[in-house]
Amino acid sequence: MELPFAESWKIKMVEPIRKSTREEREQWLREAKNNVFMLRAEQVYIDLLTDSGTGAMSDRQWSAMMTGDESYSGARSFFELKDTITRLTGFQYVIPTHQGRAAENVLFSYLVRKGSVVPGNAHFDTTKGHIESRRAKAIDVTVPEARDTQRELPFKGNVSLELTKKVLEENKGNVPFFVLTVTNNTVGGQPVSMQNIRETSALCHKYGVPVVMDSARFAENAYFIKTREAGYQDKTIKEIAREMFSYVDCMTMSSKKDGLVNMGGFIATNREDWYEGCKLYCIPYEGFITYGGMNGRDMAALAVGLDENTEFDMLDTRIRQVQYLAQKLDEYGIPYQRPAGGHAIFVDADRVLDRIPKEEFPAQTLTCELYLEAGIRACEIGYILADRDPFTRENRFGGLDLVRLCIPRRVYTDNHMNVVAAALKNVYDRRHEISRGLRITKEAPLMRHFTVELERL
């Protein structure tokens, strides 16, 4: 008999979690103004809000914490981290930051000006926020097929070369860089192929536009290249990652994802001018250039995490768990962005709650229903997160309205996935009874989803 698949790790430390009653959850959600970001973590049974900073560190990472060097400048832990990043990416200059958005803040402070145009394959919300808050424009040039949730494509996160060419042509001299996000979180954790990375970079470089890779989930992207793209089957994840980075000019990193740590980020590049420019912003915003917002011990743990998570078995365990949840949803007929992404399943809320108009936020409503059903916290990646257009102040209803079931690394078992799928099925089975959604009662001018307040209609 062929042996079944199992995790490539075993569990050394556990944290109890608790179920609640429906009555408790109704009260808690009311108090949280129907925004799951406002819940207390103890009010959640299975937390799929994000895979960011929520993973479990390994014994090797914890032991690296003990040897962290906390020197203000020139810490050994910084050089351990820098050497690891250089080995994995080929980039010589490394600036640590406290998380991914801080890396964006430092780099964009140097490069983005009012009126700049920054194309990319579906900028993450903080990335878009850092562009728009500088009165610049973020233009999404993801392949249009990504918007058809039922279409199965191996690299649905790809950049449309045609759209990119048009933007570069129309904005000559005004594009400081292109943001290439791997995997493409916003369209469902979908990967970008090596061919597309190569061709996008070649096109941008032809127009003299540098490429910044938003690398939060670069290792998961490399896994998909290895398992889906011809010619990469026999290459290691580390070889593939190195090739991905070889085509771009710079990377910003949220280490809270594929770095397997709870907090951290960095910028890495071979461009000396950018390094010099970033240093000027790193020091006042983040901290001195050999710690930039990170503890020495956290840099030490990150160096180990980056190494661990660029090994095939680690990624195979993780991505198979996401695919396991997807199979369950297939059994129950629940529509999601196909195929399953690297870090999450994105349920197509528009198709599930099809009686609820866009103006009443179907994905946010489904997020609330799933919490009420079983204490599962998912996250809306839809019309609320899309924010208002900064120029017209109209809601942006043009994109997808998804509920993200985002799976932390090395935290939950497949039994938890069974509970998530069953809870979602229960909501799905009574979807026709859900005919009204939510109305916003309070919202921030930018990145409103974190603090938005809503009432049930």
Say what angle helices 272-285 and 100-111 make with each other, to 10 degrees.
120
Cβ atoms 110, 278 nearer than 8 A: yes
Query: Does 265 engage in binding with ligand F0G (CB under 6 A)?
Result: yes
Render 254-291 in DSSP notation, one character per residue: ETTSTT-SSS-EEEEES-HHHHHHHHHHHHHHT-STTT
Query: Does 54 engage in binding with ligand F0G (CB under 6 A)?
Result: no
**Binding map of ligand F0G across residues 167-206, x = CB under 6 A, - = no contact:** --------------x---x---------------------
Torsion of CA 74, 75, 81, 86, to 10 degrees: 20
Residue closer to ligand F0G by CB (options 264, 339) is 264
Active-site residue identified among 47, 69, 125, 249: 125
Active site residue 214: yes
Active site residue 216: yes
Query: Does 52 engage in binding with ligand F0G (CB under 6 A)?
Result: yes
**Binding map of ligand F0G across residues 117-146, x = CB under 6 A, - = no contact:** -------x-xx-------------------
Query: Does 89 engage in binding with ligand F0G (CB under 6 A)?
Result: no
Cβ atoms 99, 263 nearer than 8 A: yes
Q: Which stretch binds ligand F0G (CB under 6 A): 98-106, 152-160, 384-392, 432-440?
A: 98-106
Cβ atoms 310, 222 nearer than 8 A: yes
Cβ atoms 365, 437 nearer than 8 A: yes
Active-site residue identified among 5, 72, 397, 450: 72
Tell me which residue of 231, 221, 238, 199 sits closest to 154, measured CA to CA.
221
Query: Does 105 engage in binding with ligand F0G (CB under 6 A)?
Result: no
H helix runs in 120-209, sequence order: 125-132, 161-170, 194-206
430 in the Ramachandran plot: left (φ > 0), alpha (ψ -120 to 50) or beta? Answer: alpha
Active site residue 363: no
Closest distance to ligand F0G from the beta carbon of 179 (Å) = 9
**Residue 141, token pair as written in the block:** 């040039």
Task: Determine the residue with CB nearest ligand F0G.
Answer: 100
Active site residue 177: no
The residues binding ligand F0G (CB under 6 A) are 50, 52, 99-101, 124, 126-127, 181, 185, 214, 216, 254, 256, 265
Catalytically annotated residues? 72, 124-125, 214, 216, 257, 449
